[in-house]
Structures are given as structure tokens and as C-alpha cells.
Amino acid sequence: MDQRDLGIVRYDAGAEYLDALRRLKLEPEALFWAYDRTLEQYVLVIVTSLFDFAGPLALMRLLFDAYNAAATPKEIDPFILRLHSPKHALYRAAQLHIGNRFDMAELKGRSLDRATIAGEVTPPVVMSFRADDLESFGTWVYKSTPVSPKAKTVDTERRWRRFESAVHALAA
């Protein structure tokens, strides 16, 4: 299997996942696909400072609840998610290679290189970054933005409460 052949269906599902997170009031610092060379499968990486604030278990519980309530795309089973803190090596590698700020939402009018994503075209050089067993390519990134140095704990707590309330409201 060509690891770079992410496939357009998976790519579109990832974009929908980001939209779903935003509807649930979770704005991650980064979201992208990566290939896990140990497991030989694709994983959707979510980088959020809420990882350090609430811990991975509380965060994962909400993401499972959102999935089970059909608030996130069914194609993206939470078992293929990979949660990371902005302090982790993978995010630092993404920042280094993708640049300081990248957000698909801001690329108005710019056509996406769908042929590359679909595996129809394999460019001779593809920007890639890796950490441990994960490797990603520039075309798989939906968003990668720096953590605000001015962010205060109270702001992070507010973000967490908003996300938590939005997910809990699904069950109401």
C-alpha cells in the first residue's frame, strides 16, 4: 500500500470531522491525518491544549459520546483518533514543516490538490513530517495553528466547559 494514498473519501471525512468539532465548540490547534507505521493504518490526529487541561480520558469520553450521538462522521470511529497535546513532538514537527499558521478555512478560493490526495498523482517531492511511528504529509493537514502565548488557564477552562456542554446537550 502506498502510504501517501490517503483517499478522497477519508480526506473528506476528516474535513467533516473538523466541521463537527467546531459545531461542538471544540477548536483544535491542529487536525490532520497521519499514517501509523506500526499499526499500518491511518489515524486522525487531534492536537488540543484541552489534552493537558482535562486529561486524555475526559476528552476521549466526550468524543466517544459525540460519535455515539451521531454528532461526528460515522466513518471516523473514535478508535482511529489520536489525541495529542501541543507540547508533543508530533505537533512541533507539524509546526516546523507546515509553517506557523495553516487553516483550510482561510484558503478561500484555493483549489485543493485532490488528485494528490486521491492517489492519482504522486508528486516527486511531498512535504512530510514525522514523530515516533506517525508520519503525515502536508496535503493531509486541515489545520495547524500555534497556541496563543497569551492563553490563560481561565480561557482554556472556558473552552473546555463550552465543549463539554455542547456534547452533554446532545444527550438531552
Partner 1 sequence: MDPQSPAEWMALVEQHEKSARMLAGDRVAAGQAYFHVGVAAESATKAYIMASERLNSWPDRALRPELHTHDLRKLVKIAGIELRTKNPLGPSWKVVLDWDRNQAYDPNPMPRKVARSMIEAAFGLKGVVTWIRETLA
* Residues within the interface to partner 1 (CB under 8 A): 38-39, 51-58, 60-61, 63-64, 67-68, 77-79, 81-83, 85, 87, 89, 132
The Cα–Cα gap between 91 and 111 comes to 25
Q: Tell the smallest beta-carbon distance from residue 30 to partner 1 (Å).
A: 17
- 3-state class (DSSP) for residue 168: helix
Q: Tell the smallest beta-carbon distance from residue 52 to partner 1 (Å).
A: 5
Q: For residues 24 and 119, is the Cβ–Cβ distance under 8 A? A: no
Which residue, 72 or 139, is less far from partner 1 as judged by CB?
72
Q: Tell the smallest beta-carbon distance from residue 120 to partner 1 (Å).
A: 31
Which residue, 1 or 57, is less far from partner 1 as judged by CB?
57
Q: Tell the smallest beta-carbon distance from residue 103 to partner 1 (Å).
A: 26
Which residue, 60 or 118, is less far from partner 1 as judged by CB?
60
Which residue, 60 or 166, is less far from partner 1 as judged by CB?
60
CA dihedral over 54, 56, 61, 62, signed as positive or negative: positive
Residue 34, C-beta contacts closer than 8 angstroms, at least 6 positions apart: 42, 43, 45, 82, 90, 134, 135, 136, 140
**Grid cell digits, residue 149:** 502565548
Q: Which helix (H) or strand (E) holds 163?
A: helix 153-171
- 3-state class (DSSP) for residue 111: coil
Q: Tell the smallest beta-carbon distance from residue 35 to partner 1 (Å).
A: 15
The Cα–Cα gap between 68 and 113 comes to 32
Which residue, 8 or 20, is less far from partner 1 as judged by CB?
20
